[in-house]
């Protein structure tokens, strides 16, 4: 049985608020601990003022040192509680951010997996990697900062302002005139922040693509002496990445001191009018404790204000990433089933096919196949054999009809279509995992019986870790023949009623090919197998043969094609040295 996903289903994943709603429980603890922490912060300036006053009273002989100690201990106890609440708030905020990051990547991953070939071909690999990792990280981090600053800045600012207002409302209004200017400037920076962040993300995509190209073509570049040219191209991408990264961050990092200077400008009015209050000539009467508390409280308010301005720019950066990934954030439960359909007849009638924007490749192809039949597909080079195989995936629109069990392929939902056709192309597309998982894909079946079916079991037994041997990226630790047979074992394990195999035996010798074919028929007795190949010595054993030429197809038996199609007969005789019926015998 496949393990159930631990990721929560996200309703309306293209709305940011959906991720907040999904974390209501976590945000509740963030709220409680955040309010306790930030309201408790105002105790700091109050105690600082009282400590200053207590020190003055000790100097004047009105208080003793023990009075200072008791006040300091109370200060330490309150601050310990406040910092404990801060720890809890940060813990739950980080948990919130991690859950959001995981859920976003979950949604994005499953949408990428289920994008059609036509859609994927329009995207660069580097760009998709950047969206799937960097952009999601940026969005989650922006949401974390926003959630943090709601309390670390929003509630704290309110608490500080209320405290200032209670001491001298006139001076509080005068001193707090300046922080809003920092917010206004931060908002004005929206356009350059968006522009530079977008350029940085595009550059990151190009760098990711160049890195993948450099790794995948490393051997080719070394053999043909292209390393210097490729290194220069990579350095150009890296230099552009560094340049755009600096420009992207400069608006956030460099503006922080400016925001803080603007916010702190109110200190001048506090020093002037606050001194008058202490001397008894101001708007109200203060002692040293009140002056110290007011000044300390405003300083902390100003610092928080500058952080809020910086937060605006950080959120603006996250908005760019969200705009990039939002088209991919479509609703999915992440568990699209691909259960094998029941065996049934496959009917193809008048099938024509062309890739978008291209000329028609397949013309009016008609044939049918019943459960348990093997249909061979062959023809000259570039006659459309592989294109016929890909047409059954339903990734691109076609004309004519492909019907399975009486249902038109194009009318079936994706999950039903995925449960009918298993496809094995020229590239094995192995996962960087164990041999066992490449066969089973998470199911609880026995991998060894499928390895035996493709004559790979003995080779796997001789490997250091057996079926637990890791194949490396793309199967790099296996030979070409091993990769092809492992992919074929995975196809057999799927149990799908129609298997489209594009040249599955090209990397094995003739004896092994015959043995695999014998076991293939035994392992999938009720499946329809469309076997595309240019090697014809097994074709006499097939139930039917499709001969393709110039995008058209003739559906018949091997014996009939030998008699009626000279090209087919010539190709077969050239490979076998025999002549039709004699060779079959």
Residue 500 backbone phi and psi in degrees, to 5 = -100, 110
Query: How many helices, marked H, and strands, marked E, lie in the chain?
Result: 26, 10
Query: Cα Rg for the chain, rounded, in angstroms?
Result: 35
> What was the pLDDT predicted at 121?
63
Strands 346-353, 398-404: pairing kind:
antiparallel
SS3 348: strand
For the ranges 197-201, 490-494, 506-510, the lowest mean pLDDT is seen at: 506-510
Say what angle helices 43-59 and 156-167 make with each other, to 10 degrees: 40
Dig out the tokens for 119 from the structure: 């859609």
Give the torsion through C-alpha atoms of 454, 460, 466, 471, to 10 deg.
-90
What Å distances lie between residue 156 and 144, 153, 255, 292, 540, CA to CA?
17, 5, 22, 19, 83
Q: Check: CB of residue 101 under 8 Å from CB of residue 8.
A: no
When pLDDT is averaged across residues 336-364 and rounded to a whole number, the result is 84
pLDDT, position 481: 85
pLDDT of residue 537: 87
Confidence class for position 63, pLDDT limits 50, 70, 90: confident
In this prediction, residue 583 carries a pLDDT of: 40
- What pLDDT does 367 receive? 95
Handedness of CA 467, 471, 475, 480 (dihedral sign): negative
C-alpha span between 287 and 278 (Å, rounded): 6
- Tell me the C-alpha to C-alpha distance, in Å, between residue 184 and each of 187, 257, 320: 5, 15, 20
What pLDDT shows up at residue 8?
64
Q: What is the phi/psi pair of residue 498, to 5°?
A: -130, 125
**Burial (CB count within 10 angstroms: exposed 0-12, middle 13-18, buried 19+), residue 177:** exposed
**Residue 157: closest CA among 41, 36, 30:** 41
CA atoms within 13 A on the CB side of 485: 29
**In the prediction, which pLDDT does 579 show?**
46
| pLDDT at res. 581 | 42
Give 414 or 368, the one with higher predicted confidence: 368
Q: Residue 4 has what pLDDT?
A: 40
Distance, C-alpha 492 to centroid of its chain: 29
- For 121-167, the pLDDT digits (tens) are 666 666 677 777 888 888 888 888 888 777 677 777 788 888 888 88
pLDDT single digits (tens) 27-50: 899 888 888 887 787 788 888 788
pLDDT of residue 147: 82
Does residue 332 have a pLDDT over 80? no
- C-beta separation of 313 from 307 below 8 A: no
Could you tell me which residue, 215 or 52, shows the higher pLDDT?
A: 52
In the sheet that holds 407-408, the strands lie side by side as 362-369, 346-353, 398-404, 407-408
What's the pLDDT score for residue 2? 37
Task: Give me the chain's average pLDDT, please.
Answer: 83
pLDDT for the residue 117: 63
| Helix, strand, coil in percent for the chain, rounding step 5 | 65, 10, 25
**From the CB of residue 170, how many other CB atoms can be counted at a distance below 10 Å?**
12
Q: How many CB atoms lie within 10 A of CB 40?
A: 19
Say which DSSP state 470 is in: B
Whether 183 has a pLDDT exceeding 90, the answer reads no
Domains of the chain with CATH codes: 16-328 (1.20.1560.10), 369-566 (3.40.50.300)
Q: Which helix (H) or strand (E) holds 350?
A: strand 346-353
- Separation CA 575–CA 585 (nearest Å): 16
Q: Give the rounded percent of residues in the chain with a pLDDT score beyond 70.
A: 92
Query: Are the C-beta atoms of residues 48 and 290 closer than 8 Å to each other?
Result: no
Please say whether the beta carbons of 317 and 146 come within 8 A. Answer: no
pLDDT at 453 over 60: yes
Sequence-ordered list of residues with C-beta below 8 angstroms from that of 111, at least 6 positions apart, any chain? 328, 329, 330, 332
205: tokens are 């995509």
Collapse the DSSP code of 228 into the 3-class scheme (helix H, G, I; strand E, B; otherwise coil) and give the result. helix
Note the Cα 564 to chain centre separation in Å: 54
Whether the model pTM is above 0.85: no
Q: Quick one: 26 exposed, middle or buried, by C-beta within 10 A (0-12, 13-18, 19+)?
A: buried
Per-residue model confidence (pLDDT) at position 578: 56
For the CA atoms of 302, 305, 311, 313, what is the dihedral angle to 10 degrees?
Answer: -90
Using a pLDDT cut of 90, give the percent of the chain over it: 21
pLDDT tens-digit readout, 208-259? 888 877 777 777 777 777 777 778 888 888 899 888 888 887 766 777 778 7
**Mean per-residue pLDDT, 524-549:** 92
Kind plus residue range of the DSSP H or E element containing 377? strand 374-378
pLDDT band for 120, please (50, 70, 90 cuts): low
Residue 35, judged by CB atoms within 10 A of its CB (0-12, 13-18, 19+), counts as middle
Q: Which two tokens stand for residue 401?
A: 């009809």
Average pLDDT, stretch 355-369? 89
Backbone angles phi, psi at 529, to 5 degrees: -115, 120
Q: Are 542 and 376 in contact (CB under 8 A)?
A: yes
pLDDT given at position 558: 94
């Amino acid at each position: 049985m496949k393990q159930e996903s631990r990721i929560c289903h996200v309703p309306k994943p293209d709305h940011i608020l959906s991720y907040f709603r999904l974390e209501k429980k976590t945000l509740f603890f963030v709220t409680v601990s955040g309010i306790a922490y930030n309201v408790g912060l105002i105790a700091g300036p109050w105690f600082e003022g009282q400590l200053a006053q207590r020190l003055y009273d000790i100097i004047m002989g009105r208080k003793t040192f023990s009075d200072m100690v008791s006040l300091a201990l109370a200060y330490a106890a309150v601050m310990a509680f406040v910092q404990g609440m801060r720890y809890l708030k940060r813990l739950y905020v980080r948990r919130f951010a991690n859950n959001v990051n995981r859920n976003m990547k979950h949604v994005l991953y499953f949408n990428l997996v289920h994008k059609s070939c036509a859609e994927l071909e329009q995207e660069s690999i580097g760009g998709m990697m950047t969206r799937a990792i960097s952009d999601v990280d940026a969005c989650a981090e922006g949401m974390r900062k926003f959630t943090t600053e709601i309390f670390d800045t929003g509630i704290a600012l309110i608490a500080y302002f209320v405290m200032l207002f209670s001491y001298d409302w006139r001076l509080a209004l005068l001193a707090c005139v300046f922080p809003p200017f920092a917010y206004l400037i931060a908002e004005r920076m929206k356009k350059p922040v968006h522009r530079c962040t977008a350029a940085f993300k595009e550059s990151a995509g190009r760098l990711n693509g160049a890195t993948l190209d450099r790794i995948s073509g490393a051997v080719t570049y070394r053999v043909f002496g292209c390393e210097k040219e490729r290194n220069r191209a990579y350095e150009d991408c890296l230099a552009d990445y560094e340049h755009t990264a600096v420009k992207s961050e400069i608006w956030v990092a460099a503006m922080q001191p400016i925001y803080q200077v603007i916010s702190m400008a109110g200190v001048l009015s506090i020093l002037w009018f606050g001194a008058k209050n202490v001397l008894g000539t101001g708007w109200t009467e203060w002692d040293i404790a009140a002056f110290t508390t007011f000044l300390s409280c405003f300083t902390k308010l100003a610092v928080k204000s500058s952080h809020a301005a910086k937060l605006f720019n950080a959120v603006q950066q996250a908005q760019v990433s969200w705009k990039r990934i939002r088209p991919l954030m479509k609703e999915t439960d992440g568990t699209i089933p691909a259960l094998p359909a029941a065996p049934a007849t496959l009917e193809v009638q008048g099938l024509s096919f062309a890739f978008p924007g291209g000329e028609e490749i397949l013309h009016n192809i008609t044939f049918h196949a019943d459960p348990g039949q093997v249909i061979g597909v062959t023809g000259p080079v570039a006659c459309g054999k592989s294109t016929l195989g890909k047409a059954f995936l339903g990734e691109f629109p076609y004309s004519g009809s492909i019907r399975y069990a009486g249902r038109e392929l194009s009318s079936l939902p994706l999950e039903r279509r995925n449960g009918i056709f298993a496809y094995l192309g020229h590239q094995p597309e192995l996962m960087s995992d164990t041999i066992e998982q490449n066969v089973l894909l998470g199911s609880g079946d026995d991998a060894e019986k499928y390895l035996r079916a493709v004559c790979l079991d003995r080779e796997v037994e001789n490997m250091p870790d057996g079926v637990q041997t890791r194949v490396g990226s793309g199967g790099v630790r296996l030979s070409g023949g091993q990769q092809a047979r492992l992919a074929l074992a995975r196809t057999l394990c799927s149990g799908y009623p129609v298997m489209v195999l594009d040249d599955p035996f090209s990397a094995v010798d003739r004896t092994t090919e015959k043995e695999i074919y014998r076991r293939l028929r035994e392992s999938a007795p009720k499946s329809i197998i469309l076997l595309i190949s240019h090697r014809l010595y097994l074709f006499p054993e097939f139930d039917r043969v499709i001969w393709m030429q110039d995008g058209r197809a003739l559906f018949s038996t091997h014996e009939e094609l030998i008699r009626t199609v000279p090209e087919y007969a010539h190709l077969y005789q050239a490979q076998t040295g025999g002549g039709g019926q004699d060779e079959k015998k």
